[in-house]
Structure 1
């Protein structure tokens, strides 16, 4: 089985392309009756988590034979991350990812996943809160108190050190729609035509 495209995507850190690539290659292998002993199951599962496709990750996990799940500790470790995501155990995602000794094939991928996940959580916190305690940010972001505070401040939030609260800096809504004169003229003519 030729997995060079998957290896190339991993080397190039093109992580968002791996899930569809693995899905297609696995279907091709199944249609030819090829063995999948060398299949990068952990990479495949993590690729679905990376693009936040929890349904596909869950389906992929359920479709695997039990002997594959039992024989591959890295695969089981990736699934623990998936379970935490599924159950919205925010701190558990970091604990599961950082609590396993990842092999060279997955170490960079896990780091990239955590950074992407942290960014996604930070965006959700920005939308959901106007003020939030540092302790809550620590919980959601999986960082130390100092790191979480620095991350938030570097991203435009402000700190009240006395109360240990962060004030969220909401991004301004963009309303850059410009109406050029010709469009306004056509609209005026259309309305005039409908009225008369």
Structure 2
């Protein structure tokens, strides 16, 4: 299973095609597990939810791993980061292990990004809960990204992400462009 963005779209298309072409509309549990895991990896929670509803109940009950993958999806839906990491701490089958490991890493990156935008400072323990690591490892990981660590108070100060300057156009410029566009459409 490949988790790079170039090939992941092709893998999703292939799995969706397998699901659609399966006899009786019921695919194998492995296809459902891979597709559900990839939807979660892509943070496509709506498609993951609809896939979960489509999976026949007898397949859900006979293959416990599907339920475990969906448990991760539920935690992602609720934005319960500590719960996500707890749910991901499972020995996954070879079928989905790479995707679930990539999901763990991308969730950590997303959590660090959210914290850097939302907090001016955060305790090492709170950061550890957000990223699902021990406090010391979490602190050293974000210090490598340029964060500041105060060892006395055990607080982290995120480095401010570089924002792209936005070009603001005046109302007259916008009105001029709109007028040009409308006249183009009329002619």
Scaled by the length of structure 1, what TM-score is found? Answer: 0.76
Q: Return the offset for 1:101.
A: 1.8
**SS class of match (1:40):** helix
Residue 19 of structure 2 is aligned to residue 26 of structure 1: yes
Distance 1:53 1:74 in 2: 19
- Structure 1 residues 166 and 34, CA, compared in 2 at 3 Å: closer, same or farther? closer
Name the SS of the counterpart of 2:96 in structure 1. Answer: helix
Q: Which is bigger in relative contact order (C-alpha 8 A, separation at least 6)? A: 2
Q: Which runs of 4+ in 1 moved over 4 A?
A: 32-35
Q: Is residue 43 of structure 1 aligned with residue 34 of structure 2?
A: yes
Count the aligned residue pairs: 166
Give the unaligned 5+ runs of structure 2.
168-172, 177-187
Out of 160, 164, 167, the residue aligned to residue 174 of structure 1 is 164
**C-alpha offsets along residues 102-134 of structure 1, whole Å, 9 cap, x if unaligned?**
112222221111001111111111111111111
Q: Residues of 2 paired with 1:63 and 1:130: CA distance?
A: 43
The question of whether the paired residues in 1 share the 8 Å contact of 2:19 and 2:25 is answered with no
Aligned CA-pair RMSD: 2.2
Uncovered stretches (5+) of structure 1, i.e. residues with no partner: 1-9, 178-186, 191-196
Kindly state the Cα deviation for residue 37 of structure 1 after the two structures are TM-superposed.
3.5
Q: 2:181 is matched with which residue?
A: none
- The offset of 1:78, in angstroms, is 0.3
